[in-house]
Chains A and B, each alone.
Chain A
Amino acid sequence: GQQLNQSPQSMFIQEGEDVSMNCTSSSIFNTWLWYKQDPGEGPVLLIALYKAGELTSNGRLTAQFGITRKDSFLNISASIPSDVGIYFCAGQFGNEKLTFGTGTRLTIIP
């Protein structure tokens, strides 16, 4: 099935650093969602975006809905150990199914 392109595929950072990742699609969406997944668990919803250009924060997380409606960005400020995991973007058109990205694996180096 189709998967959205996420970049970077993996990140190795030190605690306290800021993180940026993005997601691109060949199709437009009218909802973008960001999830975090820990090993052996289901994805957990972090942030939802509903309007082109929208910027939404959830604590240290900030996400943006791209103006073209074909991309989205997630930033994490001042990373902490519990931020480790895999981050997935997901796009949705109307009330249809979610289409997921390929994931960005975040590792924090001691």
Chain B
Amino acid sequence: DTGVSQDPRHKITKRGQNVTFRCDPISEHNRLYWYRQTLGQGPEFLTYFQNEAQLEKSRLLSDRFSAERPKGSFSTLEIQRTEQGDSAMYLCASSLGTGRRGNTEAFFGQGTRLTVV
């Protein structure tokens, strides 16, 4: 399978615990995005990387959230001291990101469903 891969698919955690999600983008895709989606809403932008550089962070990304893409390949999203309001689907997407027609199209993984109890 050469699509975007996310792990785990589901995570249930107790409030206050830390969680980490992983995203493996499509091979050779330079750009990687993280989005969050709550029930009944469209995906909301969190942050994105061009290779290993984090280029933009949404104000939704509080101090408890951190994302990394250390070698420009896979990425991790960590949430510290989880709160019930963090319960959502966390989506990762990747694109070639070169700005040429067609290269900015973003392809999504299946998401990680987080439930904070």
Give me the interface of A with B, judged by CB distance under 8 Å: 1, 3-4, 6, 31, 33, 35, 40-45, 48, 50, 88, 90, 92, 94-103
When the two chains form their complex, are residues A102 and B102 in contact, meaning their CB atoms are under 8 A apart? no
Number of interface residues of B (CB under 8 A): 32
Instruction: Provide the bound-state CA to CA distance between A4 and B110, in Å.
Output: 22
- Min distance, Cβ B46 to any Cβ of chain A, angstroms: 9
A103 near B105 with CB under 8 A, answer: no
Can you list the 6 inter-chain pairs with the closest CB atoms, starting with the nearest?
A: A100-B42, A42-B108, A95-B99, A1-B44, A97-B45, A42-B111
Q: Determine the distance from Cα of A101 to Cα of B42 in the docked complex, in whole angstroms.
A: 6
Look across to chain B and name the residue whose beta carbon is closest to the beta carbon of A103: B42
A90 and B95 alpha carbons, distance in the complex (Å): 14
In the complex, A92 Cα to B60 Cα: how many Å?
Answer: 19
Q: Are the CB atoms of B110 and A42 closer together than 8 Å?
A: yes
Q: A44 CA to B42 CA in the complex, in Å?
A: 13
Instruction: Establish whether residues B111 and A99, one from each chain, have CB atoms under 8 Å apart when the complex forms.
Output: no
Residues of A within 8 Å of B58, CB to CB, are 1
Nearest to B31 among chain A residues (CB) is A95
